[in-house]
């Protein structure tokens, strides 16, 4: 059984809730068919079990889900046809208990602990480096950028989400170039393989064969694609959220709790969580809710490492760690490559913000440029 919690906007919430339950299980929300026997309805019709104001809880019988019905099918049931009913003016999927149906999903292969083991970053926030310029680099230049970031001490590198498989920097050429450049270094490298399911899985497999040590996929690939890669490619998987607000805001949407539950269920090991400070300045409470979903104990699954980015700079590092704990990654592109002393210095400044040893000229320059340590709010 799957239990879904909704916030419904309708003049008649009871009618809306019934329309949702019936329409998303047995049939037309208004008209019963001749074959709608009592027995069939008892077995398959979703049940409205609670209504409090606009908050509605609906149970979907487990028998409605076959073993190979993945997240696409489940979401079509939980957040599908109700958007096509006029008298339901808004419907937000606030939370989901996937019940026994969660058992078909494997969750993160590595989790936070696994990522720590792979990188050797055991007891501190991790630092991620994002390749920038996002576009326009040749494989050789991209490899140089990655090497410079690794020299500066980043634990993880991802290509930015707008890098696909262009002819001037194809995946097949750039992955070996970067792998060679990072040879012997502990840094994890995640090429971006965002694409339609077929292409994303093919590209992830190719990246694995060419020696990549992680995989980066944007939300637009679709949740099932993350799961397919998780099952077929034995590498840490990074979820990049840009685009998520299309699904989490508006009259018909899922909450971020649901989003990150799905991301964890699909088997991602690291996920872009948002940012505190920077050009995406989310509230502490909203971030803590997401962190709870990613790092809290949940149905026996491995945890998911939250990656803060979108305007991160060294002046924010200490506060991020103090506020949200060690089990985070802080990822940056702009403030690494925009450091006046260059990319390696930019990466080093982030590391110095975590573990300052001796003099810290790179950090000092960064703090001068982007602001000193101090809470964003």
Least Å distance, CB 248 to Mg ion, is 18
Q: Which of 156, 211, 153, 183 is nearest to 350 (CA)?
A: 153
Q: Closer to ligand 3PG by CB, 127 or 200: give it.
A: 127
Picked from Mg ion, ligand 3PG, none, the partner binding residue 215 (CB below 5 to 8 A depending on kind) is none
Q: Which of 364, 339, 348 is nearest to 155 (CA)?
A: 348
Least Å distance, CB 116 to Mg ion, is 24
Q: Closer to Mg ion by CB, 303 or 343: give it.
A: 343
Helix, strand, coil abundance in the chain, percent, nearest 5: 45, 15, 40
Contact status, residue 217 vs residue 201, Cβ threshold 8 Å: no
Q: Closer to ligand 3PG by CB, 61 or 376: give it.
A: 376
Give the residue nearest to ligand 3PG (CB).
334
Q: Closer to ligand 3PG by CB, 277 or 333: give it.
A: 333
Picked from Mg ion, ligand 3PG, none, the partner binding residue 304 (CB below 5 to 8 A depending on kind) is none
Least Å distance, CB 312 to ligand 3PG, is 5
List residues binding ligand 3PG (CB under 6 A). Answer: 130, 132, 160-161, 272, 309-312, 331-335
Q: Closer to ligand 3PG by CB, 99 or 371: give it.
A: 371
Residues with Cβ within 8 Å of 81's Cβ and at least 6 positions away in sequence, in order, are: 23, 24, 29
Q: Closer to ligand 3PG by CB, 22 or 163: give it.
A: 163
Least Å distance, CB 328 to Mg ion, is 17
Decide: helix, strand or coil at residue 126: strand
Picked from ligand 3PG, Mg ion, none, the partner binding residue 351 (CB below 5 to 8 A depending on kind) is none
Q: Give the Cα separation of 242 and 252 in Å (integer).
A: 19
Could you give the string, one character per residue 115-154, with x where binding to Mg ion holds by CB under 5 A and - elsewhere?
A: ----------------------------------------
Q: Which of 57, 54, 1, 46 is nearest to 23 (CA)?
A: 46
Least Å distance, CB 242 to ligand 3PG, is 6
Task: Beginning with the edge strand found earlier in the chain, give each strand of the sheet holding 90-97 in spatial order.
Answer: 47-52, 55-60, 2-9, 90-97, 252-254
DSSP 225: H
**Interface residue with Mg ion, options 36, 113, 151, 160 (CB under 5 A):** 160
Contact status, residue 131 vs residue 333, Cβ threshold 8 Å: yes
Q: Give the Cα separation of 126 and 261 in Å (integer).
A: 22
Picked from ligand 3PG, Mg ion, none, the partner binding residue 309 (CB below 5 to 8 A depending on kind) is ligand 3PG
Residues with Cβ within 8 Å of 143's Cβ and at least 6 positions away in sequence, in order, are: 174, 177, 178, 180, 181
Q: Closer to ligand 3PG by CB, 97 or 165: give it.
A: 165
Buried b (16+ CB within 10 A) or exposed e, 161-196: bebbbeeebebebbbebbbebbeeeebbbbbbbbbe
Q: Give the Cα separation of 210 and 200 in Å (integer).
A: 15
DSSP 167: T
Interface region with Mg ion, contact rule CB under 5 A, candidates 83-91, 157-165, 296-304, 352-360: 157-165
Contact status, residue 96 vs residue 65, Cβ threshold 8 Å: no
Q: Closer to ligand 3PG by CB, 272 or 339: give it.
A: 272
Least Å distance, CB 333 to ligand 3PG, is 3
Least Å distance, CB 313 to Mg ion, is 15
Residues that bind Mg ion (CB under 5 A): 160-161
């Amino acid at each position: 059984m799957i239990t879904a919690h909704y916030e419904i906007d309708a003049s008649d919430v009871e009618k809306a809730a019934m329309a949702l339950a019936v329409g998303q299980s047995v049939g037309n929300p208004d008209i019963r068919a001749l074959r709608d026997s009592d027995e069939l309805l008892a077995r398959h019709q979703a049940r409205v079990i609670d209504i409090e104001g606009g908050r509605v809880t609906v149970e979907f019988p487990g028998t409605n889900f076959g073993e190979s019905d993945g997240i696409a099918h489940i979401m079509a049931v939980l957040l599908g046809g109700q958007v096509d009913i006029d008298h339901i003016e808004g419907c937000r999927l606030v939370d989901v208990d996937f019940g026994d149906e969660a058992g078909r999903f494997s969750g993160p292969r590595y989790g936070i602990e696994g990522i720590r083991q792979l990188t050797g970053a055991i007891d501190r926030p991790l630092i991620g480096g994002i390749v920038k310029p996002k576009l326009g680099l040749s494989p050789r230049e991209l490899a140089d950028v990655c090497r410079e970031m690794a020299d500066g001490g980043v634990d993880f590198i991802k290509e930015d989400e707008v890098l696909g498989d262009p002819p001037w920097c194809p995946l097949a050429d750039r992955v070996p170039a970067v792998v060679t450049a990072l040879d012997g270094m502990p840094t994890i490298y995640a090429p971006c393989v965002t694409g339609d399911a077929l292409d994303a899985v093919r590209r992830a497999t190719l990246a694995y064969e060419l020696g990549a040590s992680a995989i980066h996929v944007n939300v637009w690939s679709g949740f099932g694609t993350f799961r397919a890669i998780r099952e077929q490619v034995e590498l840490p998987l990074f979820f990049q959220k840009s685009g998520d607000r299309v699904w989490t805001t508006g009259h018909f949407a899922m909450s971020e709790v649901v989003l990150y539950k799905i991301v964890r269920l699909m088997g991602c090991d690291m996920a872009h969580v948002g940012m505190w400070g920077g050009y995406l300045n989310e509230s502490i409470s909203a971030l803590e809710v997401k962190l709870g979903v990613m790092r809290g104990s949940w149905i026996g699954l491995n945890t998911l490492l939250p990656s803060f980015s979108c305007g991160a700079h060294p002046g924010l590092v200490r506060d991020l760690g103090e506020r949200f704990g060690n089990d985070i990654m802080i990822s940056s592109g702009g403030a690494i490559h925009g450091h006046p002393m260059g990319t390696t210095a930019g990466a080093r400044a982030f590391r110095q913000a975590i573990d300052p040893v001796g003099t810290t000229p790179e950090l000092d320059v960064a703090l001068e440029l982007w602001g000193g340590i101090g809470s964003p709010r």
